């Protein structure tokens, strides 16, 4: 810290300044100018290194596809770099300018995205990796920079009128800078592997240089007389300083656990170190000196250990007792009421205390502490099952069964602490598999209770049979997979039949509309005799439909059928001179020949064809002015056979008349730029949704097929049976009204880990 040598520069600021004063504006502008200059230089250095890093990786790539991946990333960064830099610096400048106006925490303050239902349903695996990369950078640099940053916070608090500035709200703190950079990187289309490399370079060239920024800001404010005698010492809630030590060591562990490699930019999948660091940082203010001894206060802040810490063997023994109590409590309930849900939630949160009570009963005295790593595991499993009880992806009936697995999974986590880190761990895959099966469950789709019974059997086997043999998870996983494979084959066959049936109906409807439109367009304003109109609107329209379906619109048969329509309509024009009568006589043989073939194609009986042709002969003689042998008036009446056939073109006319009414009203209700509309456009086959309305129970259905002809979305249940089909605008309305909800596609464990990291990173939500 520089000494203040010129007393004329010192201004008596007191403990705080008026935020609206001109002096405050000058000081903040000075801080902003310093930050802008330094950060602009460092971010520029970061991106200058990206090209070289990606090029080196491309040269070392094991195949052409991987090489092109890095080259594509280079092109994307070159193209969008100015936009990323501009957004990043603008965010920091904006927040520095608003420091004097206290407001709710910035969106940048959280290392993870919001955990609301919509966002959570969209969180993918790489979202978790990105969150951990951010968490690692923040943890490591918060610890390293704590002394200088503490001084910056205190001085900014003074010039902001006493409004507290801390690490979370300071725009130049590692947390804020990392999150602002994360938001700016959303401008890139490159995938997560490229972004992880950029994060590492950002850590190296920006965050690692922040001492210089803090030193310059402190010097500037000291020269202005802001807390010139402040010593750069952190004030913690523990006189022994052990809390600070614990947090620092926890941060270092987090940094080690998710440090990226130079070559690949990948984050190791072992999350335990990071999670332990986050738990340690969260408990530090409450547990005080306990961390210095490597213990954690399960019994509450300030409690004193009453004996040796419980060993893993003791914890497993106590859990086995609790597990046997649950297993002997009777069969699992079939449904879950609100009361049951509340009881389950309490059980999940109270397991820690119950465990310590049971250890006390076994050893004769109740310990008040467990080893830190054991409490982290207990809390982590507890948060996992809290997530299960809150997960909208799971029907309530499935939540009540899966929630009973908390103790078996806590035992598994103590026996093998890598369960949370390895995606292929059998226990993790089993829970993911159960949740995936449960996602599509509903009363309607499981009338035979096969799926419900399978989940129940697996849960009960774990409760009754799992002691310390982890191979049970492999056996149950195989059992679940076999069940899934059998049901998948059945559902796929049913789903294929539904899709084919729907596709066939759509083709038929499309062909009917095309045939009707061709006839309507050719008739135009002509007033046709009833007989001729009946032939075209009924028999010949059906012939056009069959020709379209069998030969297609590019076939000679379809073109000939349309040519007949033109000739047939032309034959009704008045033949009032010799030339027109000559033309009509030349057309009639072709008309008769085509009509015979067409009527036979739509299964007309021979006698009906002859009767119709006889009526047409009489009509044409009338047109030609020849003597009639038939009773007068017969040719111009519609044939009896024609009247018994359905009119193909009239429904199309009726539908066209409705354009602009209710269908368009629904479209207007959800604008094309609305989130719901974009959500519909992003849906892919295989996505599950939950549908509900006031008349029916909730139904879960999978998007099976999107029609290439009509764009309609076909939904089936887990048995492959049709639930509904919607036009895109209809589905958007359901989403907007809350009558349809998109369920998350990624695995339960991944969603839970993302949620847990988010919760632990929020200071207002302390760990249990």
Spell out where 72-128 has E strands. none
- The pLDDT, as a whole number, for residue 762 is 72
| End-to-end alpha carbon distance in the chain | 40
What is the average pLDDT score of the chain? 80
Q: Say if residue 411 is exposed, middle or buried (CB neighbours under 10 Å; 0-12, 13-18, 19+).
A: buried
Which range among 127-141, 247-261, 297-311, 733-747 shows the weakest confidence by mean pLDDT? 247-261
Q: Which two tokens mark 110?
A: 């959280």
Q: Is the pLDDT of residue 764 over 70?
A: no
Q: What is the mean pLDDT of residues 484-508?
A: 91
Distances (CA, A) of 96 to 27, 33, 90, 227, 565: 11, 10, 10, 20, 76
Q: Is the pLDDT of residue 196 over 70?
A: yes
Distances (CA, A) of 421 to 18, 340, 390, 391, 689: 51, 31, 22, 21, 29
Q: Is the pLDDT of residue 625 over 70?
A: yes
Distance, C-alpha 429 to centroid of its chain: 20
- The pLDDT, as a whole number, for residue 251 is 38
Which range among 473-482, 650-659, 749-758 shows the weakest confidence by mean pLDDT? 650-659
CB contact at 8 A, 739 and 691: yes
Cα–Cα distance between 153 and 166 in angstroms, integer? Answer: 6
- Please give the domain boundaries of the chain with CATH numbers for all domains: 7-235 (no CATH), 287-469 (no CATH), 502-656 (no CATH), 660-746 (2.30.30)
Q: What would the DSSP string read from start to end of 211-280?
A: HHHHHHHHHHHHHTTSSTT-------S-TTSHHHHHHHHHHHHHHHHTPPPTTT-PPPS--HHHHHHHHH
Distances (CA, A) of 134 to 128, 478, 572, 626: 10, 37, 79, 94
- The pLDDT, as a whole number, for residue 421 is 79
E strand or H helix at 663: helix 662-669
Query: At 193, is the pLDDT very low, low, confident or very high (cuts 50, 70, 90)?
Result: confident
Q: Which two tokens mark 364?
A: 């004769």
Compute the C-alpha angle 516/517/523, nearest 5°.
90
- For 67-118, the pLDDT digits (tens) are 888 889 999 999 999 999 999 999 999 999 888 776 655 545 444 433 333 3
Cα–Cα distance between 582 and 526 in angstroms, integer? Answer: 22
Q: What is the mean pLDDT of residues 290-314?
A: 55
Query: At 753, is the pLDDT very low, low, confident or very high (cuts 50, 70, 90)?
Result: confident
Query: At 48, is the pLDDT very low, low, confident or very high (cuts 50, 70, 90)?
Result: very high
Q: What is the mean pLDDT of residues 518-547?
A: 93
CB contact at 8 A, 156 and 9: no
Q: What is the mean pLDDT of residues 292-301?
A: 41
- For 323-341, the pLDDT digits (tens) are 888 888 766 555 555 555 5
- The pLDDT, as a whole number, for residue 272 is 65
Spell out where 282-431 has E strands. 295-297, 369-371
- For 574-594, the pLDDT digits (tens) are 888 889 999 999 999 999 999
Percent of the chain at pLDDT exceeding 90: 46
- The pLDDT, as a whole number, for residue 291 is 31
Q: Is the pLDDT of residue 618 over 70?
A: yes
Which range among 108-117, 700-709, 732-741 shows the weakest confidence by mean pLDDT? 108-117
Distances (CA, A) of 512 to 616, 653, 713: 26, 12, 21
Query: At 281, is the pLDDT very low, low, confident or very high (cuts 50, 70, 90)?
Result: confident
Cα–Cα distance between 253 and 275 in angstroms, integer? Answer: 9
Q: What is the mean pLDDT of residues 264-268?
A: 38
Which range among 104-118, 427-441, 751-765 shows the weakest confidence by mean pLDDT? 104-118
Percent of the chain at pLDDT exceeding 70: 76
Place of tokens 């604008």: 671
Q: Is the pLDDT of residue 183 over 50?
A: yes
Supply φ then ψ for residue 691, to 5 degrees.
-110, 145
SS3 content of the chain, % helix, strand, coil (to 5): 65, 5, 30
- The pLDDT, as a whole number, for residue 572 is 92
Neighbours of 303 (CB within 10 A): 14
E strand or H helix at 744: none
Q: Which two tokens mark 206?
A: 């920006």
Q: Who has greater pLDDT, 335 or 539?
A: 539
Residues in the chain: 768
- For 351-370, the pLDDT digits (tens) are 888 888 888 888 878 887 78
Distance, C-alpha 56 to centroid of its chain: 34
Which range among 362-366, 393-397, 764-768 shows the weakest confidence by mean pLDDT? 764-768
Q: What is the pTM of this model?
A: 0.61
Query: At 709, is the pLDDT very low, low, confident or very high (cuts 50, 70, 90)?
Result: confident
Handedness of CA 667, 673, 676, 682 (dihedral sign): positive
Cα–Cα distance between 184 and 265 in angstroms, integer? Answer: 19
């Amino acid at each position: 810290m520089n000494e203040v040598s010129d007393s004329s520069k010192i201004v008596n600021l007191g403990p705080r300044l008026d935020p609206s004063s001109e002096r405050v504006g000058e000081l903040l502008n000075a801080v902003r100018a310093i930050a802008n200059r330094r950060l602009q230089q460092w971010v520029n250095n970061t991106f200058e290194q990206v090209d070289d890093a990606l090029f080196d990786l491309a040269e070392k790539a094991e195949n052409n596809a991987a090489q092109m991946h890095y080259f594509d990333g280079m092109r994307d960064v070159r193209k969008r770099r100015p936009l990323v830099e501009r957004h990043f610096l603008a965010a920091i400048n904006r927040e520095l300018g608003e420091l004097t106006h206290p407001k709710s925490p910035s969106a940048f303050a959280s290392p993870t995205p919001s955990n609301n239902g919509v966002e959570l349903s969209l969180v993918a695996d790489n979202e978790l990796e990105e969150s951990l990369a951010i968490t690692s950078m923040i943890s490591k640099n918060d610890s390293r920079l704590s002394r200088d940053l503490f001084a910056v916070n205190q001085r900014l608090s003074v010039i902001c009128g006493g409004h507290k500035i801390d690490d979370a709200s300071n725009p130049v703190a590692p947390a804020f800078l990392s999150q602002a950079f994360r938001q700016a990187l959303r401008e890139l289309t490159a995938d997560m592997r490229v972004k992880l490399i950029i994060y590492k370079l950002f850590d190296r060239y920006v965050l690692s240089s922040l001492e210089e920024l803090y030193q310059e800001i402190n010097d500037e404010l000291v020269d202005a007389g802001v807390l010139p005698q402040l010593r750069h010492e952190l004030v913690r809630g523990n006189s022994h300083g052990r809390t600070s030590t614990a947090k620092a060591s926890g941060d270092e562990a987090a940094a080690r656990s998710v440090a990226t490699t130079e070559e690949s930019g990948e984050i190791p999948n072992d999350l335990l170190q990071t999670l332990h660091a986050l738990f340690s940082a969260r408990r530090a203010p409450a547990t005080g000196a306990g961390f210095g001894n490597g213990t954690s206060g399960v019994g509450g802040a300030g409690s004193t250990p009453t004996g040796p810490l419980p060993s893993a063997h003791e914890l497993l023994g106590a859990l086995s007792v609790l597990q046997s109590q649950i297993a002997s409590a009777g069969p699992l309930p079939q449904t879950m009421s609100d009361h049951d849900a509340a009881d389950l939630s309490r059980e999940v949160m109270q397991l820690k205390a119950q465990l310590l009570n049971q250890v006390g009963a076994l050893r004769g005295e109740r310990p008040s502490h467990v080893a830190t790593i054991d409490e982290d595991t207990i809390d982590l499993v507890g948060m996992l099952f809290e997530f299960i009880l809150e997960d909208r992806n799971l029907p309530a009936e499935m939540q009540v069964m899966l929630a009973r697995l908390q103790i078996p999974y806590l035992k598994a986590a103590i026996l093998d602490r890598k369960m949370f880190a390895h995606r292929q761990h059998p226990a993790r895959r089993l829970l993911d598999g159960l949740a995936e099966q449960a996602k599509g469950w509903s009363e309607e789709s499981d009338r035979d209770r096969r799926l419900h019974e399978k989940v129940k059997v697996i849960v009960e086997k774990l409760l009754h049979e799992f002691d310390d043999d982890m191979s049970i998870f492999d056996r149950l996983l195989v059992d679940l997979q076999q069940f899934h494979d059998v049901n998948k084959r059945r559902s796929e066959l049913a789903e294929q039949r539904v899709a084919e049936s729907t596709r066939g109906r759509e083709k038929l409807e499309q062909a009917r509309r095309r045939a009707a439109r061709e006839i309507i367009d050719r008739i135009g304003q002509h007033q046709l005799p009833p007989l001729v109109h009946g032939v075209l609107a009924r028999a010949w329209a059906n012939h056009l439909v069959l020709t379209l379906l069998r030969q297609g619109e590019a076939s000679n048969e379809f073109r000939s059928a349309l040519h007949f329509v033109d000739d047939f309509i032309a034959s009704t024009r008045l033949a009032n001179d010799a030339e027109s009568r000559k033309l009509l006589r030349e057309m009639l043989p072709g008309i008769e020949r085509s009509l015979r073939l067409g009527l036979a194609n739509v299964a007309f009986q021979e006698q009906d064809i002859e009767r119709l042709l006889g009526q047409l002969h009489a009509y044409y003689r009338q047109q030609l002015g020849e003597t009639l042998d038939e009773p007068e008036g017969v040719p111009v009446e519609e044939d009896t056979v024609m009247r018994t056939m359905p009119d193909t073109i009239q429904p199309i006319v009726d539908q066209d008349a409705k354009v602009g009414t209710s269908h368009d009203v629904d479209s207007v209700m959800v604008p094309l730029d609305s989130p719901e509309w974009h959500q519909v456009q992003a849906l892919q086959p295989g996505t599950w949704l939950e549908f509900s309305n006031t008349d029916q129970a909730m139904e879960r259905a999978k998007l099976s097929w999107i029609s290439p002809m009509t764009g309609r979305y076909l939904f089936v249940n887990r048995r492959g049976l049709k639930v509904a089909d919607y036009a895109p605008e209809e589905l958007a309305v359901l989403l907007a009204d809350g009558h349809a909800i998109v369920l998350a596609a990624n695995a339960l464990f991944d969603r839970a880990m993302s949620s847990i990291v988010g919760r632990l990173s929020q200071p207002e939500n302390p760990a249990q």
